[in-house]
């Protein structure tokens, strides 16, 4: 108890220092908050932008898509980032623009022989009606379903696109794209899903209805598991903020997103 | 002048002492203010005794998590307490003084290892081991219990060993003079005399195990389901708050505060028991 208490105290003190230090800057400051999946990309773009525009200071915060929309609504952030297939009703009051698109890859352990699944099979696996890999043509072993926590933008989008899924109560829950990747990489019979920019050699994306999670199939519209990354903002943002929004949609920024693993907005 | 300085120092220290108390109070008031109305809205019974957790569609039942927290904590105690007490006895009663001076600080160093490191070990070594040899997904009650059991060792060992060390030498000498063997004098006299301190160490360790979050998130699997085997994955109360905090808004957020209320109450009860045990037994050293 006492140890926790000390921790809380020091955290409060640290937060206080940060708050004090953050005040009184003469520079124009922009805050972006929301999706943790888009956050690293936003940071890269912001760094790039600040290099050429030293008068602007951009802060990128995570917190999740829901928080991004909340912050943009309440004004704690000028721009909210949300990677959801459909934005919640609260966002209707704001302007929105698609800054990029992100494929959601269904991933297996490389030791798993299966290379492709249908949407129907994925639905079965994640809702728990398919319990053994042999039911979808794999080895005779129980399926370990790995999912994100409820409220996660990736999970919300995934469930919406797959449609009619109530996640099986047996699913393991991991709280980030990275830990999903680690868990799938460590368990030969696991299935999970994650942002397509995070695929690496330790895990294996499967084809969905015969189409692969690659830029080509996503752009052609044949790979179905794609979600847009929205930026939401209130009417009448400052000129500096508008300039930054324009930059995000410029060919240069879009190219940077593309080389880092996202799909261009257009 | 001198008296004045002393008065000022006293004033400042009093203020500091009370500010610590005040922030504890603030935390408590805040958690209850945010969480309690929600519990009334959903119904305390439904909240505490239903195990369907699906905040997106308005199902808030934390029963499975309460059970999970208790299982994992109990498992950690099962592993950490016997080892810890045995270790404390060994360090105090059987180890030469010189060695004790090296070993005790080393064990206390264990307390300084960040929980995320324990979690990482659990994910990389323990979970695959369990998956291969015992089945299940590996991330499980067992993995969490073992990791927490090791994490509470320093708490159990250092407090128990202080208590054992505080037992007057004459007790042991008396036992030996009456013809008791060394082991008999240890378990019939020394450990009995140090009982209150040992119990306090166990209860403090329990609080730590119940409150641990990071390591548990990493190794427990976080499935909201009442476990039927030690190899089943579970989600504890603390893990639930940490996992969903970042994405929760509205009712879902309130539900997490309500989870905090439950956790707060459970920990308060444990601490209350700890205090009364220490008091009732005439206090440790």
Please indicate whether, in this complex, the C-beta atoms of A156 and B56 are within 8 angstroms of each other.
yes
Using the Cβ of A183 and the Cβ atoms of chain B, whether some distance falls under 8 Å is answered with yes
> What would the pLDDT profile of B95-108 be if each residue is shown by its tens digit?
898 998 898 889 88
Instruction: Report the sign of the C-alpha dihedral through residues A229, A232, A236, A241, in that order.
Output: negative
**Binning pLDDT at 50, 70 and 90, where does residue A4 land?**
low
Selection from A204, A164, A250, A167 nearest residue B225 by Cα = A167
Three-state SS at A153 = helix
Structural domain boundaries in chain A: 29-101+227-264, 103-220
Selection from A125, A110, A197 nearest residue A159 by Cα = A125
Structure tokens at B155: 């708490």
Of A4, A8, A152, nearest to B247 by CB-CB distance is A152
Residue A122 has pLDDT above 60, yes or no: yes
Q: Mention every residue, 6+ apart, whose C-beta is less than 8 A from residue B51.
A: B61, B62, B63, B64, B67, B224, B225, B226
> What would the pLDDT profile of B107-149 be if each residue is shown by its tens digit?
888 888 999 999 999 999 999 999 989 988 889 999 999 999 9
DSSP per-residue letters across chain B: -HHHHHHHHHHHHHHHHHHHHHHHHHHHHHHHHHHHHHHHHH-HHHHHH---EEGGGTEE--HHHHHHHHHHHHHHHHHHHHHHHHHHHIIIIIS-HHHHHHHHHHHHHHTTS-HHHHHHHIIIIIHHHHHHHH-S-S-SHHHHHHHHHHHHHHHHHHHHHHHHHTS-HHHHHHHHHTT--HHHHIIIIIHHHTHHHHHHHHHHHHHHHHH--HHHHHHHB---S--SSTTS-B--HHHHHHHHGGG--HHHHHHHHHHHHHHHHHHHHHHHHHHHHHHHTT---
Predicted pLDDT at A124: 93
> What would the pLDDT profile of A139-155 be if each residue is shown by its tens digit?
899 999 999 988 788 88
> What would the pLDDT profile of B187-204 be if each residue is shown by its tens digit?
889 999 998 889 889 988
Predicted pLDDT at A1: 43
B267 to chain A: which residues are within 8 Å by CB? 1
Residue A11 has pLDDT above 80, yes or no: no
Of B27, B233, B244, nearest to A151 by CB-CB distance is B244
B221-236 residues labelled b (16+ CB within 10 A) or e (exposed): bbbbbbbeebbbbbbb
Please indicate whether, in this complex, the C-beta atoms of A151 and B252 are within 8 angstroms of each other.
yes
Spatial distance between the Cα atoms of B152 and B209, rounded to a whole number of angstroms: 7
B243 to chain A: which residues are within 8 Å by CB? 149, 173, 175
Please indicate whether, in this complex, the C-beta atoms of A173 and B139 are within 8 angstroms of each other.
no
Q: Do A103-220 and A29-101+227-264 have the same topology in CATH?
A: yes
Please indicate whether, in this complex, the C-beta atoms of A172 and B233 are within 8 angstroms of each other.
yes
Predicted pLDDT at A19: 46
- For A37, A49, A62, A86, B58, the CA distances from A90, given in Å and listed in that order, are 21, 29, 19, 11, 18
> How much is the ipTM here?
0.76
Predicted pLDDT at A195: 86
A89 to chain B: which residues are within 8 Å by CB? none
Spatial distance between the Cα atoms of B247 and A151, rounded to a whole number of angstroms: 5
Name the CATH topology of A103-220. D-Maltodextrin-Binding Protein; domain 2 (3.40.190)
Structure tokens at B228: 């039927």
Please indicate whether, in this complex, the C-beta atoms of B247 and A151 are within 8 angstroms of each other.
yes
Please indicate whether, in this complex, the C-beta atoms of B24 and A5 are within 8 angstroms of each other.
yes
Structure tokens at B47: 């909240």
A12 to chain B: which residues are within 8 Å by CB? 23
Please indicate whether, in this complex, the C-beta atoms of B139 and A183 are within 8 angstroms of each other.
yes
* Residues A156-181, mean pLDDT to the nearest whole number: 87
Using the Cβ of A39 and the Cβ atoms of chain B, whether some distance falls under 8 Å is answered with no
DSSP character at residue A22? H
> What would the pLDDT profile of A21-44 be if each residue is shown by its tens digit?
444 445 788 999 988 888 888 998
Assess contact for A72 and A94: CB atoms under 8 A. yes
Per the DSSP assignment, residues forming a β-bridge with A95 are A233
Q: Which residue in B65, B137, B270 has the most chain A C-beta atoms within 10 A of its own C-beta, making it the best mutation to test that interface?
A: B137
Structural domain boundaries in chain B: 47-280
Predicted TM-score (pTM) of the model is 0.79
Domain covering B47-280 assigned CATH 1.10.3720.10 in the classification = yes
- For A171, A183, A187, A238, B91, the CA distances from B127, given in Å and listed in that order, are 16, 10, 10, 51, 31
What element of type H or E holds A99? strand A95-108
Residue A20 has pLDDT above 60, yes or no: no
Q: Which CATH number fits domain A29-101+227-264: 3.40.190.10, 3.90.1580.10, 3.30.930.10, 3.40.50.150?
A: 3.40.190.10
What is the length of chain A?
A: 266
Residue A15 has pLDDT above 60, yes or no: no
Predicted pLDDT at B3: 67
Report the mean per-residue pLDDT for chain B.
Answer: 89
Predicted pLDDT at A118: 92
A52 burial (CB, 10 Å; 0-12 / 13-18 / 19+) is exposed
């Amino acid at each position: 108890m006492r140890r926790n208490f000390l921790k809380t105290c020091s955290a409060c003190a640290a937060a206080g220092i940060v708050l004090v230090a953050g005040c009184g800057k003469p520079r124009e400051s922009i805050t972006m908050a929301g999706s943790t999946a888009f956050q690293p990309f936003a940071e890269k773009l912001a760094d790039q932008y600040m290099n050429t525009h030293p008068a602007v200071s951009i802060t990128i915060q995570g917190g999740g898509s829901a928080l991004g929309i909340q912050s943009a609504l309440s004004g704690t952030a000028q721009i909210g980032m949300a990677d959801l297939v459909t934005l919640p009703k609260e966002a209707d009051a704001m302007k929105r623009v698609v800054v990029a698109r992100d494929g959601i890859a269904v991933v297996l352990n490389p030791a798993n022989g299966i290379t492709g699944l249908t949407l129907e099979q994925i639905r079965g696996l994640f809702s728990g009606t398919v319990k053994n890999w042999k039911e979808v043509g794999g080895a005779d072993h129980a399926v370990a379903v790995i999912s994100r926590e409820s409220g996660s933008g990736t999970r919300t989008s995934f469930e919406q696109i797959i449609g009619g899924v109530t996640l099986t109560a047996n699913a393991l829950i991991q709280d980030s794209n990275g830990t999903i990747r680690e868990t799938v990489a460590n368990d030969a019979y696991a299935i999970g899903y994650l942002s397509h920019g995070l695929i690496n050699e330790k895990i294996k994306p499967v084809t969905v209805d015969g189409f692969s999670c690659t830029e080509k199939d996503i752009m052609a519209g044949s790979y179905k598991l794609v979600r847009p990354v929205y930026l939401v903002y209130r009417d009448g943002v400052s000129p500096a903020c508008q300039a930054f929004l324009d930059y995000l949609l410029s060919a240069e920024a879009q190219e940077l997103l593309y080389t880092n693993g996202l799909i261009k907005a257009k | 002048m001198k008296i004045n300085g002393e008065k000022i120092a006293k004033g400042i220290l009093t203020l500091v002492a009370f500010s610590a108390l005040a922030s504890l109070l603030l935390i408590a008031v805040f958690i209850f203010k945010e969480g309690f109305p929600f519990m009334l809205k959903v119904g305390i019974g439904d909240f505490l005794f239903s195990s369907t957790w699906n905040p997106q569609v308005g199902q808030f039942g934390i029963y499975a998590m309460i059970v999970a927290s208790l299982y994992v904590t109990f498992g950690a105690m099962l592993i950490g307490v016997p080892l810890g007490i045995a270790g404390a006895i060994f360090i105090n009663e059987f180890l030469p003084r010189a060695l004790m001076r090296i070993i005790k600080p080393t064990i206390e160093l264990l307390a300084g290892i960040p929980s995320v490191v324990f979690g990482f070990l659990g994910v990389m070594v323990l979970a695959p081991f369990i998956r291969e040899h015992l089945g299940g997904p590996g991330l499980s009650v067992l993995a969490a219990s073992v990791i927490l059991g090791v994490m509470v060792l320093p708490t159990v060992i250092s407090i128990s060993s202080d208590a054992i060390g505080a037992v007057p030498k004459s007790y042991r000498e008396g036992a030996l003079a009456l013809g008791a063997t060394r082991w008999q004098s240890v378990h019939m006299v020394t450990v009995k005399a140090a009982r209150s301190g040992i119990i306090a160490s166990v209860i403090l360790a329990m609080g730590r195990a119940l409150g641990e979050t990071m390591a548990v998130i990493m190794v427990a699997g976080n499935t909201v389901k009442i476990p039927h085997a030690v190899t089943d994955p579970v989600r504890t109360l603390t893990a639930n708050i940490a996992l969903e905090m970042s994405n929760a808004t509205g009712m879902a957020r309130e539900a997490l505060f309500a989870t905090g209320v439950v956790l707060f109450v459970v920990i308060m009860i444990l601490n209350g028991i700890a205090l009364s045990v220490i008091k009732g037994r005439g206090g440790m050293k």
